[in-house]
Amino acid sequence: MAWEFAGGQPIYQQIIRSMEIQIVSGKYHPGEKIPAVRELAAQAGVNPNTMQRALTELEREGLLYSRRTSGRFVTENESTIREARRTLAEQFISEMFKNLENLGMKRGEIIEAIDHWKE
């Protein structure tokens, strides 16, 4: 039996996903400067190291970039953003399929249920 209260996902990954969503949905605009690590960490109520780790990962993905002295910015490369949106969307879709399969539903039933829901 899988009881997994209080999280499951490590915090830094939750932060990554949350930042990705904000960039991809346009709450952070291309080229926009984001707050300093310490500030973001304070806002999120996490350790600055944890936030740093998340930001580094987001840079590796190309969604952020930093300039030594002037701070950290959202990428201006729109196709990178579109790509990230597609990846996130696939994750959400795949999660849903996994959940429905956990319920004991077959592919056919799932698709039927989604079609039914769309109406």
Residues that bind a second copy (CB under 8 A): 1-3, 5-8, 11, 14-15, 18, 21-22, 24-27, 43-46, 85-86, 88-90, 92-97, 99-100, 102-105, 107, 110-111, 113-114, 117-118
Q: Give 65's strand partners.
A: 73
59 sits near DNA (criterion: CB under 7 A): yes
CB of 15 to a second copy, least distance (A): 7
What amino acid occupies position 69? T
Nearer to DNA, 38 or 107 (CB): 38
Considering beta carbons, is residue 3 or 117 the nearer one to DNA?
Answer: 3
Token pair in block for residue 46: 């996490």
Residue among 12, 34, 11, 8 nearest 22 (CA): 34
Report the residue number, 77 or 100, with the smaller CB distance to a second copy: 100
| Number of Cβ within a 10 Å radius of residue 43 | 10
Beta-carbon count within 10 A of 25 CB: 11
Among 48, 77, 80, 97, binds DNA (CB under 7 A): 48
Q: How far is CA 8 from CA 2, 14, 86, in A?
A: 11, 10, 24
Total site size for DNA, rule CB under 7 A? 26
Where do the DSSP E strands lie in the chain? 33-34, 64-67, 71-74
Task: Enumerate binding residues for DNA (CB under 7 A).
Answer: 10-13, 34, 36-39, 46-50, 52-53, 55-56, 59, 66-72
